[in-house]
C-alpha cells in the first residue's frame, strides 16, 4: 500500500545517445528491434525497494525519448529520494558522467548503477570504474539472475529489506552464487503496476499491456558465444507457488501478456510439470511467451505449456549445419529441430527461431544454407543476428587467440566484430538484410500475418516491425 508521505526511489532506464538502441546494443536503424519492454532487472528490484519501505517509481527515458536535461526536470517535478539506473557496457562512461551531474543537481541523493554481465565478468575494469567514480553510491551487479534477497543482505535466507548502507561506494557487489538446482528461492514480489505502459510490446505480442517475469536464473549449457549463462553453473528456481501468485496478481492488474525471462524455460522437468499444471488450473486470461531449447521441448512438455497459456516460444536454432551446432553446445539434429517446430504448429504455439549469421569461417553458401534452413522450419518469426564475439565469452577468447577478432570491436556495428575468412563486412550486412527481407516479405509470411491479425494492437506492432525490417 502506498502511504501519502512515503519516500520514492526511482528505477531508471536512462536516456541513450541519439541513434543508439540500448536494448539491442546497436544503432537504432540497424536494430530492427522495435519492440520495447521493461528491463527485468528493474522489475525485480521494484519489490525489494517496496519491502524496504520506499515507493518504487519508474521512468523509461529511452521510451519517452527524454534528454538528460528533460529527465532532470521531470525528476524534480516528481521528486525522488534515490535513483537506481541501468547502465550499458558500450555507453558506460557517458552514462556515468550524466548520472554524476544528475546527482549533483538533485542535492547529492544516492545513485546506484545496475551493471551488466560483461562488467561483472571484467573485474579489473569494474574495480577501475568504482575507483574513478567514488560519487557512485554502489553498483548492483547480477540483479536479474541472483537471489535478490542474498544480494541485498548476503547470507540471509529470507527476503531482507533493501539496505542502502550495504551499497557503499567502491564496494564490489559480487555476491557469492549459492545456487541449488531446483531449490525454492523466494524474492520480493515485483511491483508490476508501475511498469504498465501501452507502448510496451514484445516482437511477438498480440495484446497488451505486457510485462516480464523471471522464474529461474542461470543456464547450465555452455554455448560458446553466450554471455548470459556465465553467472551460474547450476540453475536456481524461484518457489513455484510464489511465481504462480505473482502471475495471478499480474492477471488481476489487467496485464494480458507475460514474457518469461528465464534463459531456458522448463529445463527442470519435474518443476516445470508442477508449475505448468498449477498455472493451467488457475485458468488465467494471461498468455505468455518464453525462450527454451529445442531439446527441452518434448511433445508432452509443449502440450502442458499450451494448456497453461503459452502462445509463443523462442528457440536458438543458430546454424544450418549440425557440425557447427555441435561445436556451439547445441548437439541437436536437423530432424529434431524440424519435429519440434512441427509440434508447435500443430499445437498453435508460435515459434521464433534465433539464427546466427556468419561465423568466422562461414562461406556465403553456409550463410545462405542457414537462411534457407531457418525458412524451411516455417517459424512465425526469425531473429537473424550477425555473429558478435561478446566480451567475456569463450568465443571472444578464441577469436582473440586465433586472430579473427577485430580489435576495434564496436557493438554498434551491425555486421559484427569478427574478421571472416570468406566474407567482408559489406557482404555480411547485405546477407543479413536479404535474410530479413526474404523471410518477412515472403508471400507466405505476409499472408499468414494478415490472417492472424486480431487487434489494432497487433496491427500497429506489425506495421512498426515491417518499417524496422525495411530500414
Ligand atoms: S542454451 Fe541459451 S542461455 Fe544457455 S548457454 Fe546456450 S545460448 Fe546461452
Q: Which CATH number describes the domain made up of 8-166?
A: 3.40.50.2300
CA of 296 to the centre of ligand 1 (A): 12
pLDDT along the chain (471 residues), means of 10: 63 78 49 72 87 88 94 93 87 94 93 81 81 83 48 35 31 34 71 96 91 90 85 76 97 97 91 96 97 94 98 96 88 95 98 95 96 95 90 90 79 70 92 88 68 68 62 52
| pLDDT, position 164 | 32
**DSSP 3-state helix, strand, coil percentages of the chain (rounded to 5)?**
40, 15, 45
CA of 250 to the centre of ligand 1 (A): 27
Distances (CA, A) of 203 to 260, 367, 447, 466: 14, 24, 18, 11
| Contact by Cβ (8 Å): 261, 143 | no
| pLDDT, position 413 | 46
Residue environment code for 86-109, b if the CB has 16+ CB neighbours within 10 A, otherwise e: bbbbbbbeebbebbeebbeebeeb
Task: Output the nine-digit C-alpha cell for 456.
Answer: 489494432
CA of 4 to the centre of ligand 1 (A): 45
CA 238 to chain centre: 18
If DSSP codes are grouped into helix, strand and coil, which group holds residue 10? strand
**Residue nearest atom 1 of ligand 1, based on CA coordinates:** 221
Task: Output the nine-digit C-alpha cell for 378.
Answer: 516455417
Report how far residue 286's alpha carbon sits from residue 194's, in angstroms, rounded to the nearest whole number. Answer: 18
Our answer on whether the CB atom of 111 is closer than 6 Å to any ligand 1 atom is no
Task: Output the nine-digit C-alpha cell for 336.
Answer: 529434431
Best substitution site from 144, 216, 220, 223 to test ligand 1's pocket, by max atoms within 8 Å of Cβ? 223
Q: Which CATH number describes the domain made up of 192-470?
A: 3.80.30.20
CA of 93 to the centre of ligand 1 (A): 29
Please compute Rg for the chain using Cα positions: 22
Our answer on whether the CB atom of 264 is closer than 6 Å to any ligand 1 atom is yes
Helices (H), 330-424: 334-347, 364-376, 394-402
Contacts of 59 (CB under 8 A, 6+ apart): 10, 11, 12, 13, 66, 71, 74, 75
**Residue nearest atom 2 of ligand 1, based on CA coordinates:** 263
Best substitution site from 216, 316, 395 to test ligand 1's pocket, by max atoms within 8 Å of Cβ? 316
Omega within 30 of 0 (cis) for the link into 439: no
CA of 221 to the centre of ligand 1 (A): 6
Q: Return the domain boundaries, the chain.
A: 8-166, 192-470
| pLDDT, position 230 | 77
Crossing angle (nearest 10°) for helices 425-440 and 456-470: 150
CA of 453 to the centre of ligand 1 (A): 31
CA 86 to chain centre: 13
| Contact by Cβ (8 Å): 461, 212 | no
CA of 432 to the centre of ligand 1 (A): 22
221 CA: nearest ligand 1 atom: 5
- Give the long-range contacts of residues 122-130, CB within 8 A, separation 24 or more: 122/391, 122/392, 123/172, 123/174, 126/172, 127/172, 129/92, 129/96, 130/169, 130/170, 130/171, 130/172
| pLDDT, position 15 | 93
CA of 338 to the centre of ligand 1 (A): 19
Task: Output the nine-digit C-alpha cell for 83.
Answer: 535513483
Distances (CA, A) of 20 to 69, 91, 274, 377: 18, 9, 42, 32
CA of 86 to the centre of ligand 1 (A): 23
Report how far residue 229's alpha carbon sits from residue 147's, in angstroms, rounded to the nearest whole number. Answer: 16
Our answer on whether the CB atom of 229 is closer than 6 Å to any ligand 1 atom is yes
Strand boundaries in 145-297, DSSP class E: 210-213, 216-217, 236-237, 257-260, 287-292
| pLDDT, position 163 | 33
Distances (CA, A) of 6 to 50, 224, 271: 10, 47, 38
Q: Which one-letter DSSP state was computed for residue 194? A: G
Our answer on whether the CB atom of 147 is closer than 6 Å to any ligand 1 atom is no
Our answer on whether the CB atom of 249 is closer than 6 Å to any ligand 1 atom is no
**Residue nearest atom 3 of ligand 1, based on CA coordinates:** 263
| pLDDT, position 30 | 47
| 301 phi/psi in degrees, rounded to 5 | -65, -45
227 CA: nearest ligand 1 atom: 8
Helix (H) or strand (E) holding 434: helix 425-440
Query: How many helices, marked H, and strands, marked E, lie in the chain?
Result: 17, 15
Amino acid at each position: 500500500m502506498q502511504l501519502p508521505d512515503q519516500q520514492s526511489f526511482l528505477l531508471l532506464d536512462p536516456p541513450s545517445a541519439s541513434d543508439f538502441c540500448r536494448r539491442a546494443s546497436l544503432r537504432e536503424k540497424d536494430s530492427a528491434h522495435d519492440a520495447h519492454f521493461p528491463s527485468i532487472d528493474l522489475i525485480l528490484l521494484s519489490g525489494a525497494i517496496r519491502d524496504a519501505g520506499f515507493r518504487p517509481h519508474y521512468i523509461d527515458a529511452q521510451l519517452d525519448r527524454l534528454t538528460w536535461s528533460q529527465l532532470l526536470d521531470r525528476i524534480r517535478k516528481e521528486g525522488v529520494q534515490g535513483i537506481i539506473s541501468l547502465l550499458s557496457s558500450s555507453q558506460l562512461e557517458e552514462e556515468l558522467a550524466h548520472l554524476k551531474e544528475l546527482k549533483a543537481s538533485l542535492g547529492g541523493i544516492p545513485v546506484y548503477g545496475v551493471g551488466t554481465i560483461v562488467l561483472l565478468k571484467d573485474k579489473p575494469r569494474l574495480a577501475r570504474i568504482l575507483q574513478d567514480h567514488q560519487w557512485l553510491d554502489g553498483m548492483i551487479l547480477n540483479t536479474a539472475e541472483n537471489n535478490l534477497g542474498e544480494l541485498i543482505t548476503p547470507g540471509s535466507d529470507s527476503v531482507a529489506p533493501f539496505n542502502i548502507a550495504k551499497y557503499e561506494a567502491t564496494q564490489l557487489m559480487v555476491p557469492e552464487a549459492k545456487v541449488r538446482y531446483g531449490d525454492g528461492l523466494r524474492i520480493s514480489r515485483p511491483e508490476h503496476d508501475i511498469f504498465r505502459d501501452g507502448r510496451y510490446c514484445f516482437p511477438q505480442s498480440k495484446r497488451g499491456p505486457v510485462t516480464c517475469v523471471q522464474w529461474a536464473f542461470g543456464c547450465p549449457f555452455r554455448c560458446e558465444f553466450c554471455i548470459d549463462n556465465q553467472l551460474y553453473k547450476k540453475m536456481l528456481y524461484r518457489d513455484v507457488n510464489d511465481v504462480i501468485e505473482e502471475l495471478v496478481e499480474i492477471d488481476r492488474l489487467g496485464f494480458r501478456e507475460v514474457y518469461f525471462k528465464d534463459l531456458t524455460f522448463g529445463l527442470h522437468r519435474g518443476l516445470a510439470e508442477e508449475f505448468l499444471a498449477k498455472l493451467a488450473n488457475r485458468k488465467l486470461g494471461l498468455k505468455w511467451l518464453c525462450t527454451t531449447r529445442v531439446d527441452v521441448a518434448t511433445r508432452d512438455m509443449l502440450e502442458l505449456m499450451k494448456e497453461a497459456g503459452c502462445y509463443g516460444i523462442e528457440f536458438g536454432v543458430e546454424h544450418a549445419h549440425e557440425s557447427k551446432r555441435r561445436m556451439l553446445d547445441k548437439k541437436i539434429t536437423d530432424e529434431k529441430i524440424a519435429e519440434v517446430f512441427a509440434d508447435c504448429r500443430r499445437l498453435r504455439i508460435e515459434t521464433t527461431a534465433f539464427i546466427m549469421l556468419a561465423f568466422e569461417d562461414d562461406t556465403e553458401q553456409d550463410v545462405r544454407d542457414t537462411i534457407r534452413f531457418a525458412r524451411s522450419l516455417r517459424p512465425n518469426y526469425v531473429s537473424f543476428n550477425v555473429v558478435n564475439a561478446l566480451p567475456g565469452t569463450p568465443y571472444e577468447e578464441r577469436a582473440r587467440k586465433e586472430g579473427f577478432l577485430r580489435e576495434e570491436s564496436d557493438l554498434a556495428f551491425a555486421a559484427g566484430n569478427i574478421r571472416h575468412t570468406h566474407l567482408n563486412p559489406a557482404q555480411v550486412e547485405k546477407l543479413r538484410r536479404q535474410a530479413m527481407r526474404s523471410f518477412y516479405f515472403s508471400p507466405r509470411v505476409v499472408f499468414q500475418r494478415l490472417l492472424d491479425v486480431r487487434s489494432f494492437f497487433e496491427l500497429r506492432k506489425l506495421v512498426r516491425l515491417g518499417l524496422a525490417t525495411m530500414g
